[in-house]
């Protein structure tokens, strides 16, 4: 057996829990698991789809062309209208998935904001891909601040239709995915001008390209916005309208309507949150799994990579170094919490949808708050984790052949898109302050995952050092919430307006508060999973949860300290406990990453394969798959003697 | 005036210090300043060199070709052998600088490790570029652990020469820059086998490509290692030898020699550190200036970007939000500290070189320790800062047109290359422990920048709350040093070996200790700069230094808390002080970034230009400079109706 294969096999033998029990938890149910396994296999076996080592040498144009070829093949194998089918694809092949935006954002918006007739008119055309539609909300000058969008849709009572117009450069739609090339329709958010009055921003289903030629229709300017940090195959686009007429039926009309020349509102507008929930929930569900890919590569590589000799004059696997464990093990622990939180949120959002469809809005706000907190927290965590995984692989981590840079490229935008993280956190903080008021006045209104506000006194009084680790997360959260509430009240008394205080005086505290809630929510879900888990994996899950808690406490102890809630001895004890947990989890690490069950192709790596051999594979790819090396004469002409001669 | 230009002009009017006084400090002396300004101007005016918005749409091959065309033009304008000339180029044009490795690493190694005859033989050929030579140390399986490199150079007494050989895949040289295409020579680090005995790793100057055809010589396998996260134009290469014969004179022979069939050592081998110092010092000097570029873009954009309305129903510049200030202002403050530290280190290294050349090694170790600490600290800080700058620009920060992703791409490798950061930190920690022993036994040996070890008792006893902010940095450093020393001693008493303890039990503490030293050193240099500064900028520099200190304390308060050295009230006071400093520094921010004096082309941005207009420029680039949009028919064929028809 190859020595690095042997190192991995030895590590696998030391794993003491049944990995398949964790796999079951990770993949929720048989349908999701089997679809994912099938997708992995199909992609590995299809030459057009499978990982192409040379991909990152290509121009964006080449990559985009490849991406559309992939779309055709994927369409043969998968039902791209079903998230269970296309969502896993996001993480296991190169480049983004064309039509993902159309299905994850535009279709749900159509379902929730359109009338049944409107959904029946357009919905089926998405399934056959007769329609691919971008979600055109963001403008060059306006992102999160939807109410200040500038694009106008002016109702014309003469012709009983709308004139869509882009009044300035800052009003140009900018960033919508799949707008640049792919979409022939767009769901355009525009300010409705009705009888000269601004009736707020609403969505309009607009055809932008010709059905037969796919050329932009007259009055429409549309294209790709240029290269980005990652997302090279995603045709994020720009879109401008020059007094472009669209029919009355374009406006999604479940909650606002123009009939017989009269404008009217119907039902609960809060529903507009609901359609954003689908895409945010997918971000939470999918992307921690991409961090899991990076962790798989990093843990395997850390076992096969040997560097510096130990006392026995043998080279050490780098996983043996405490500093390496510190980079990877807390993140591996958190990854499980993130994945479980993603599943739980999927269930919460699903439950909320069923309620909303029955006009029950009772769980809408709490779902939105949890979703916002975890969307922001998890998207930043995924990017950070991917970066630490890259760094833990030394130089080779910087090579695209490691598979890790691409994970970074394609997860980085999630921090900004679908609700910029900072904006999300501020919304969460606002909801937490509201829930605190419920606790005082209408405790029955406090939702389950926020019930910590009902126990403020008990939490603050609990000085028992043997309490669960989660207590410290709850305590930190509680203190920060009380403090920021008080701070706002104090500042109001100095004559400042609420808005001024919110923007200029408590932003840092609000951000921190929302993050503490996210941490606590993940802990709660972690506990639920441990309670319900198969006995054979309860211990390892508890260790992961403990490490998650300890690391979280040590990352942000200031609140506990400033409020005198923690002693020097307790902090020291947490530091020791962390090291003890490293010793327990390190031998299980290979099992913990292999429970994610990614095949080599899905990892897009040559340094973290199932059979090891990082050096053989990286040399193989560099010498055989690297197109830059394949034009020796041109290269010589340009970079060799001739250029020197000209110097 | 355009409204966004107006916003910038208004901000400039509020600046109360003379920016040119800071500019003088930043650029050290007239030669550096004028060379840089001239370089900026030349590059902006040369069509082949200046920023090309479409660059990031290109294939790696296109980018590399462009890069070599640039080399030719640069050679006309600049003396590429002089770091003052080529170093600024690293930060102000697209792609890496070809020949930078050759001049920054190979030439210094030749100077320090070669004999005068050897330097006279090859040195002049570098200046004419007859020789471009990679620095071939790292192997696929061996990075930082130089003593375990596998490549062998076996002395053949019959022919009085060496046989260079790559015995395994893990021994293949991998990662050296400019090796893939450009270099015709390489300085190869190999294990010298003399009379069957391993005489350690030494450098050999080896021709690898033919002088006239530039093809690899027989017995040499060489090429590019493939695509990476960034550095797309840098031809990091692989290199393998198959029993390749090289003449006796190949071995750099200032400190080891083979004469008359006898192997001998001469002088102080520590000198081998000296050549690495040049490249590390350049990393410290140059790259904080790239963070300064990202900060310039982010601060200008934060002034021109308006989002959400304030009490007066006007849109706020996002710089007005506390959360935005929190992302940018502490990093802007630190940036000044980093730049000053980079200059100071340049002077220390320079001084050390002069001593070493006179065989005075008295400052070698301290220079090496400071250099290692700041190389590691500053390289990670630059990457983090660039990322926060990107995020502070929302979606547009993710666009390459912002100029920020490319800064991230090209600064990220510095964390790993030229001394992997973790390895660097561990060396610093080792030196700190040694200096602590000096303090006890031979206090006269304690170097100036480490004199804190002479005042341990006073530092620990100083409870004065009105002490300078830097005190807390010194205190943290002192406590950590004492603690880790004690921890190692305690563990030794349990029977563990020093090496085991070092690798498996104190890694986290050692890393932290070294980081605390870096923080303290930056503070010391900051203070030197304030003391010597023109009175007109003393106040703003002191505010920056204060913010730097406060943020540093708040980022890592655990040590102070665990040791009972700080009270809850003090911590709270630091939080308040930080907010007060925000209020003082925010109106100066535009002056602080414009003191760096980058022109628009050097920033490679369209959202942070001198006259604002972010939306106009980004729309302009997207619609006019984006080649992906320029093949409408091919795009339509592939991505439009035809592909749908095939679905």
> How far away is chain A from the Cα of B507, in angstroms, using its nearest Cα?
5
What is residue B636's predicted lDDT score, i.e. its pLDDT?
Answer: 58
Mutation for A interface: B640, B642, B645, B646, most A CBs within 10 A: B640
Cβ–Cβ gap B323/A507 under 8 Å: yes
Cβ–Cβ gap B626/A65 under 8 Å: no
Q: Mapping DSSP to helix (H, G, I), strand (E, B) and coil, where does residue B359 land?
A: coil
Give Cα B90 to chain centroid, integer Å. Answer: 11
- For domain B129-266, give the CATH superfamily: Butyryl-CoA Dehydrogenase, subunit A, domain 2 (2.40.110.10)
Give the confidence band of A88 by pLDDT, cuts at 50, 70, 90. confident
What is residue B610's predicted lDDT score, i.e. its pLDDT?
Answer: 98
Residue A640 pLDDT greater than 70, yes or no = no
* Nearest residue in chain B measured CA to CA from A394: B416
> How far away is chain B from the Cα of A614, in angstroms, using its nearest Cα?
9
Please report the sign of the dihedral spanned by the C-alpha atoms of residue B609, residue B610, residue B615, residue B619. negative
Comparison of pLDDT for B305 and A273, the residue scoring more: B305
What is residue A373's predicted lDDT score, i.e. its pLDDT?
Answer: 97
For the record, the structure tokens of B573 come out as 């006071």
- Tell me how many residue pairs between chain A and chain B have CB atoms under 8 A apart: 366
Cβ–Cβ gap A320/B503 under 8 Å: yes
Q: Which of A418, A519, A576, A616 is catalytic?
A: A418
Reported as a single tens digit per residue, the pLDDT across A535-544 is 999 999 999 9
Give the confidence band of B645 by pLDDT, cuts at 50, 70, 90. very low
Give the confidence band of B639 by pLDDT, cuts at 50, 70, 90. low
Give the confidence band of A568 by pLDDT, cuts at 50, 70, 90. confident
Comparison of pLDDT for B311 and B459, the residue scoring more: B459
Give the confidence band of B343 by pLDDT, cuts at 50, 70, 90. very high
The full length of chain A comes to 647
Chain B residues whose CB is inside 8 A of the A133 CB are none
The full length of chain B comes to 647
DSSP readout, B204-225? EEEE-B-TTT-PBPTTEEEEE-
Reported as a single tens digit per residue, the pLDDT across B588-605 is 999 999 999 999 999 999
- Nearest-by-Cβ selection for B499 from A58, A211, A311: A311
Chain B residues whose CB is inside 8 A of the A508 CB are 322-323, 326, 579
Cβ–Cβ gap B640/A214 under 8 Å: yes
Q: How far are the Cα atoms of A508, A632, A633 from residue B212, in angstroms, in the given order? A: 63, 15, 13
Stretch (H or E) spanning B124: helix B116-127
Reported as a single tens digit per residue, the pLDDT across B127-156 is 888 899 999 999 999 877 788 899 999 999
Residue B384 pLDDT greater than 50, yes or no = yes
For the record, the structure tokens of A226 come out as 């240029």
Mean pLDDT confidence for B244-252: 97
Asked if A64 and A233 count as a contact pair (C-beta separation under 8 A), the reply is yes
Least confident of A22-31, A485-494, A551-560, B88-97: B88-97
Q: Which residues face A245 on adjacent strands?
A: A163
Asked if A407 and A294 count as a contact pair (C-beta separation under 8 A), the reply is yes
Strands A237-241 and B262-265: unpaired
Q: Which residues face B192 on adjacent strands?
A: B153
What is residue A646's predicted lDDT score, i.e. its pLDDT?
Answer: 47
Residue B418: active-site member = yes
Reported as a single tens digit per residue, the pLDDT across B444-488 is 999 999 999 999 999 998 766 567 999 999 999 999 999 999 999
Binding-site residues from annotation of A for FAD: 138, 177
Burial environment of residue B312 by CB neighbours within 10 A (0 to 12, 13 to 18, 19 or more): exposed
Q: How far are the Cα atoms of A133, A299, B358 from residue B312, in angstroms, in the given order? A: 38, 54, 69
Mean pLDDT confidence for B174-187: 95
- Nearest-by-Cβ selection for A643 from B68, B228, B413: B68
What is residue B65's predicted lDDT score, i.e. its pLDDT?
Answer: 83
Mean pLDDT confidence for A120-143: 92
Dist. CA B404–CA B302, nearest whole Å: 14
For the record, the structure tokens of A392 come out as 């833990």
Mean pLDDT confidence for B309-329: 86
Mutation for B interface: A72, A221, A227, most B CBs within 10 A: A227
Chain B residues whose CB is inside 8 A of the A490 CB are none
> How far away is chain B from the Cα of A459, in angstroms, using its nearest Cα?
20
Q: How many CB atoms lie within 10 A of CB A200?
A: 14
Dist. CA A431–CA A295, nearest whole Å: 34
Cβ–Cβ gap A321/B626 under 8 Å: no
Q: How far are the Cα atoms of A354, A361, A364, A426 from residue A349, in angstroms, in the given order? A: 9, 12, 9, 20
Mean pLDDT confidence for B506-510: 93
Mutation for A interface: B563, B628, B632, most A CBs within 10 A: B628
> How far away is chain B from the Cα of A380, in angstroms, using its nearest Cα?
11
Cβ–Cβ gap A394/B420 under 8 Å: yes
Binding residue per annotation — B177?
Answer: yes
Q: Which of A98, A173, A191 is nearest to A135 (CA)?
A: A173
Q: Which of B119, B206, B120 is nearest to B162 (CA)?
A: B206
Give the confidence band of A346 by pLDDT, cuts at 50, 70, 90. very high
Q: Which residues face B237 on adjacent strands?
A: B224
Cβ–Cβ gap A326/B508 under 8 Å: yes
Dist. CA A612–CA A299, nearest whole Å: 11
What is residue A644's predicted lDDT score, i.e. its pLDDT?
Answer: 53
Dist. CA B160–CA B282, nearest whole Å: 38
Give Cα A36 to chain centroid, integer Å. Answer: 18
Dist. CA A64–CA A493, nearest whole Å: 57
> How far away is chain B from the Cα of A377, in angstroms, using its nearest Cα?
14
Q: What is the arrangement of strands in the sheet containing A237-241, beginning at the earlier edge strand?
A: A173-174, A237-241, A220-224
Burial environment of residue B328 by CB neighbours within 10 A (0 to 12, 13 to 18, 19 or more): buried
**DSSP class of B265:** E
**Mean pLDDT over all residues of chain B?**
91
What is residue B504's predicted lDDT score, i.e. its pLDDT?
Answer: 86
Residue A75's φ and ψ, nearest 5 degrees, are -60, -30
Burial environment of residue A579 by CB neighbours within 10 A (0 to 12, 13 to 18, 19 or more): middle
Reported as a single tens digit per residue, the pLDDT across A224-237 is 999 999 999 999 99
Q: Mapping DSSP to helix (H, G, I), strand (E, B) and coil, where does residue A565 land?
A: coil
Reported as a single tens digit per residue, the pLDDT across A18-44 is 999 999 999 999 999 999 999 999 999
Dist. CA B480–CA B433, nearest whole Å: 11
Please list the residue range(s) of chain B that carry CATH number 2.40.110.10: 129-266
> How large a percentage of chain B has pLDDT more than 90?
73
Give the confidence band of B637 by pLDDT, cuts at 50, 70, 90. low
Q: Does A272-307+314-449+456-635 carry CATH code 1.20.140.10?
A: yes
* Nearest residue in chain A measured CA to CA from B316: A503
For the record, the structure tokens of A262 come out as 């009269």
Residue A82 pLDDT greater than 80, yes or no = yes
- Nearest-by-Cβ selection for A622 from B62, B238, B316: B238
What is the model's pTM?
A: 0.94
Chain A residues whose CB is inside 8 A of the B141 CB are 306, 615
Dist. CA A292–CA A294, nearest whole Å: 5
Q: What is the arrangement of strands in the sheet containing B173-174, beginning at the earlier edge strand?
A: B173-174, B237-241, B220-224
Chain A residues whose CB is inside 8 A of the B306 CB are 141
What is residue A647's predicted lDDT score, i.e. its pLDDT?
Answer: 45
Please list the residue range(s) of chain A that carry CATH number 1.20.140.10: 272-307+314-449+456-635
């Amino acid at each position: 057996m190859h020595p690095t294969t042997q190192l991995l096999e030895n590590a696998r033998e030391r794993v003491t829990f049944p990995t398949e029990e964790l796999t079951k938890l990770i993949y929720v149910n048989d349908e999701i698991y089997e679809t994912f396994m099938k997708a992995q296999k199909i992609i590995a076996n299809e030459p057009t789809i499978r990982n192409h080592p040379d991909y990152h040498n290509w121009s964006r144009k080449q990559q985009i062309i490849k991406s559309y070829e992939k779309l055709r093949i994927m369409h043969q194998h998968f039902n791209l209208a079903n998230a269970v089918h296309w969502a896993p694809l996001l993480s296991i092949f190169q480049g983004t998935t064309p039509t993902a935006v159309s299905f994850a954002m535009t279709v749900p918006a159509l379902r929730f904001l359109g009338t049944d007739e409107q959904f029946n008119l357009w919905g089926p055309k998405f399934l056959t891909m007769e329609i691919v539609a971008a979600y055109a909300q963001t403008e060059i000058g306006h992102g999160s601040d939807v109410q200040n969008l500038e694009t106008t849709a002016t109702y014309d009572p003469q012709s009983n239709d709308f004139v869509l117009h882009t009044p300035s450069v800052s009003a140009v739609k900018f960033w919508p995915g799949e707008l640049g090339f792919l979409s022939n329709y767009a769901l355009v958010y525009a300010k409705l001008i009705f009888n000269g009055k601004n009736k707020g921003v609403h969505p309009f289903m607009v055809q932008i390209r010709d059905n037969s030629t796919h050329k932009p229709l007259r009055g429409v300017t549309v294209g790709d916005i240029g290269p980005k940090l990652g997302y090279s195959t995603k045709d994020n686009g720009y879109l401008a309208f020059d007094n472009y007429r669209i029919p009355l039926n374009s406006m999604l009309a479940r909650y606002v309507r123009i009939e017989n020349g009269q404008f009217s509102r119907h039902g609960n507008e809060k529903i507009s949150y609901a359609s954003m929930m689908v895409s945010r929930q997918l971000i939470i569900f999918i992307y921690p799994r991409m961090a899991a890919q990076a962790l798989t590569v990093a843990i395997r590589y850390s076992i096969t990579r040997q560097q510096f000799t130990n006392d026995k004059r043998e080279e050490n696997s780098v996983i043996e170094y405490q500093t390496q464990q510190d980079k990877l093990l807390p993140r591996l622990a958190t990854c499980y919490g993130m994945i479980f939180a993603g599943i739980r949120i999927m269930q919460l959002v699903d439950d909320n949808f069923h309620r909303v469809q029955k006009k029950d809005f009772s769980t809408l706000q709490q779902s939105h708050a949890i979703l916002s907190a975890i969307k922001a927290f998890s998207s930043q965590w995924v990017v950070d984790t991917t970066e630490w995984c890259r760094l833990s692989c030394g130089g080779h981590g910087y090579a695209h052949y490691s598979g890790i840079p691409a994970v970074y490229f394609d997860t980085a935008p999630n921090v900004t898109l679908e609700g910029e993280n900072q904006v999300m956190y501020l919304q969460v903080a606002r909801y937490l302050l509201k829930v605190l008021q419920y606790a005082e006045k209408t405790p029955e209104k406090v939702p389950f995952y926020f019930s910590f506000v009902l126990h403020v006194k008990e939490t603050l009084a609990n000085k028992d050092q043997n309490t669960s680790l989660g207590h410290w997360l709850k305590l930190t959260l509680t203190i920060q919430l009380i403090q920021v509430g008080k701070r706002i009240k104090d500042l109001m008394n100095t004559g400042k307006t609420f808005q001024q205080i919110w923007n200029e005086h408590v932003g840092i505290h609000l951000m921190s508060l929302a993050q503490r809630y996210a941490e606590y929510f993940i802990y709660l879900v972690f506990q639920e999973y441990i309670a319900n888990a198969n006995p054979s994996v309860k211990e390892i899950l508890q260790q992961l949860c403990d490490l998650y808690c300890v690391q979280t406490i040590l990352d942000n102890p200031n609140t506990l300290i400033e409020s005198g809630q923690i002693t020097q001895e307790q902090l020291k004890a947490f530091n020791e406990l962390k090291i003890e947990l490293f010793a327990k989890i390190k031998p299980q690490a290979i099992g913990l990453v292999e429970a994610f069950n990614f095949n080599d192709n899905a990892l897009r790596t040559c340094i973290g394969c199932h059979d090891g051999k990082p050096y053989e594979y990286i040399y193989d790819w560099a010498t055989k798959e690297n197109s830059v090396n394949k034009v020796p004469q041109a290269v010589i002409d340009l970079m060799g003697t001739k250029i020197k001669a000209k110097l």
